[in-house]
Structure 1
Amino acid sequence: MNHYRKLVGIILMALPLTVGWVGRGWYEDARRLTAERATRQAIDAAMARESDIAERVEARLAELTANERVIDRGIIREIERPIYRRVCLEPDAVRLLNDAAAGRAPDPAEPAAALSGRAAGAD
């Protein structure tokens, strides 16, 4: 009987340790699972947000691609026109710039004559 008593005593002392050890393992596993699920939810939310942004960007790029030809034609028309006006430049400079925009080569003697004439008038 004494032998059974010792065995029951050992079992009763080992039982709380074993239950505590198993319970602690379950608790840590539950914490890891909760953290993993939270991480997965955050990743899924971020991916959904990024996907929504990517769809909007793709739609906007499709609009811009459709308008691209119209914009290019407008730019070409503007470049072909003489756009220089007398705002900050003298008439001789405006004429030279308009000639250059039209593709006409300026006469090398003209700018020197125009400048020398203005220098003489300034005195």
Structure 2
Amino acid sequence: MTKARLAAFAIMLAGTLASGWAARGWYEDSHRLTAERTAQQAIDAAMARESTIAAGVESRLAELQASERVIDRGIIREIEKPLYRNVCLGDDAIRLLNDAAAGRAPDSAEPAAALPDRAAKPD
């Protein structure tokens, strides 16, 4: 009987160790899964927050680009009018308008010489 008891005790001990090992593995796996889920939730929240910010930036950028195009077209239309090209503007004003149409910053906002008191009369 002692051999049978010893064998039963060894089997019970091996079963206890195996079930304890399995339970410990499940416990550690549950902690890892909880940590992974928490990290994924934090990543998802950050991505959602950043996507709303990016959407706002994109819409504002689209508004700015749309208004920029309208302004550019308006300047080109005004410069191309024969009245402005041929009659009313002097050399300095034409130079400033050409610089603005080309997108260059003028050397100075002031004309090089003072304008005369009398303006040129249109044809």
Give me the TM-score of the superposition, normalised by structure 1. 0.57
The amino acid across from 1:46 in the alignment is A
Give unpaired runs (5+ residues) of structure 2: 80-92, 99-107, 116-123
Among all aligned residue pairs of Structure 1 and Structure 2, give the percentage whose two residues are the same amino acid. 52
Matched, 1:27 2:27: yes
- In terms of fraction of residues, the more helix-rich structure is 1
1:30-69 equivalence runs, <5 A:
30-69=30-69
What is the CA-CA distance between 1:16 and the residue it aligns to? 2.7
Pairs aligned (count): 89
The amino acid across from 2:41 in the alignment is Q
* 1:80 counterpart residue number: 97
* 1:95 counterpart residue number: 113
Distance 1:38 1:19 in 2: 28
What is the CA-CA distance between 1:80 and the residue it aligns to? 2.6
The amino acid across from 2:51 in the alignment is S
Once superposed, what is the RMSD of the aligned Cα atoms?
A: 3.1
Tell me which structure has the larger Cα radius of gyration.
1
What do the CA deviations read for 1:49-102 (whole angstroms, capped 9, x no partner)? 1211121111101111221034434698783399417xxxxxxxx418x8xxxx
Distance 2:13 2:69 in 1: 86
What do the CA deviations read for 1:26-57 (whole angstroms, capped 9, x no partner)? 11111111111011111111211121112111
1:98-109 equivalence runs, <5 A:
none
Question: Stretches of 4+ moved more than 6 A in 1?
Answer: 75-78
Higher relative contact order (CA 8 A, sep 6+): 2
What is the CA-CA distance between 1:24 and the residue it aligns to? 1.0
